[in-house]
Amino acid sequence: MDWVQLWEITTLPDNVPIVLLILVIPFYTWYGLRQAFANDRLIDRLEADPEMAKTHHRKTQPWKPGWAREVQVWPYLLRMEFLVAIIVTFILMVWSITLDAPLEEPANPSLTMNPAKAPWYFLGLQEMLVYFDPWMAGVVLPTLILVGLMVIPYMDTNPLGNGYYTYKQRKFAIWAFFFGFIVLWLSMVVIGTFIRGPGWIWFWPGQTWDHNKLIFEANRDLPDMFGITSMLGKSLFGGAVVGLFALVTALGVHKLFTWNAFNRKIYNRMSLIQYVLLQFFLVTMMLLPAKMVARLIFRIKYVWVTPWFNI
């Protein structure tokens, strides 16, 4: 174990924010889910007792008849905002006094940095470059991530859970988001930061970076493994494999999406366009883990080879 190097990577000034992120994401996940579960228990009680549902104020926060439902912004909200601003300023001050922003040598095009890493919040994209060609990893997938995020409100036809934390009423949505945000996006950022070393080679945390290490990866294309040599054959075969993957994934998504009676009820509320959109974005999202497995475990570079593009 090379603790020194691990420490050096972790305390690299520009990496300190990720350490913060790694602490803060689990905290807020817990903080949000705790309230979700509290609300879920309340929902259970209200569903079991329709009389109670008629009179209850339906929140986990305390409430007594006669209490005003609204409070004045001054002072109740403004004092909170003021307090938060002071705390944030304080944290920022301490951070800025104790840790200096990095400054390397002057820019020098003839002296390549190895590894040349993007800022940490883009390392997810840079890590995707391992699995996809630049036009996919750098342009198409980021665009799809943004568009996919934007259409979430228009695909999610579940009317429950609007304005309160809940897990029970939105299981599929929450799992899908956790998978995309935490499992894919954040773990790619962490891999890019802590695991990728010189030459963007995989070094386990604590494994010493070897700047002379070269891996002669016997990466192959899937069609070659099946002995397909003609370009037409490769194009058709790859297209078929990707199509099959999409079909199987879509079926799996469908299975999960219609898992129980409640889910089927939501499914029935969807228009055709909404459902097709949902499938498109989820299947595209699953391309990434599929390609990661293909690449990291089976050493497959491309699945689909054509004269114009490779996937």
Considering only residues 4 to 63 of the shown chain, the ones binding another protein according to CB under 8 A are: 14, 17, 20-21, 24-25, 28, 31-32, 35-36, 39, 42-43, 46-47, 53, 57-59, 61
Residue 164 · residue 173 · CB < 8 Å: no
Amino acid at 234: K
Long-range contacts of 276-283 (CB under 8 A, 24+ apart): 277/151, 277/154, 277/155, 278/155, 278/253, 279/250, 279/253, 279/254, 281/144, 281/148, 281/151, 281/155, 282/176, 282/249, 282/253, 283/246, 283/249, 283/250, 283/253
If the CB atoms of residues 50 and 227 are measured against another protein, the closer one turns out to be: 50
User: Contacting another protein (CB under 8 A), which of 3, 54, 70, 297?
Assistant: 70
User: Contacting another protein (CB under 8 A), which of 1, 52, 84, 248?
Assistant: 84
- Quick check: 104 binds another protein (CB under 8 A)? yes
If the CB atoms of residues 43 and 250 are measured against another protein, the closer one turns out to be: 43
If the CB atoms of residues 7 and 28 are measured against another protein, the closer one turns out to be: 28
Q: What's the rounded Cα separation, in Å, for the pair 69 and 63?
A: 9
Using CB under 8 A as the binding rule, the residues of this chain from 125 to 164 that contact another protein are 125-126, 129, 133-135, 137-140, 146, 149-150, 152-154, 156-164
Using CB under 8 A as the binding rule, the residues of this chain from 228 to 287 that contact another protein are 262, 265, 269
If the CB atoms of residues 51 and 100 are measured against another protein, the closer one turns out to be: 100
- At 156 the three-state DSSP class reads coil
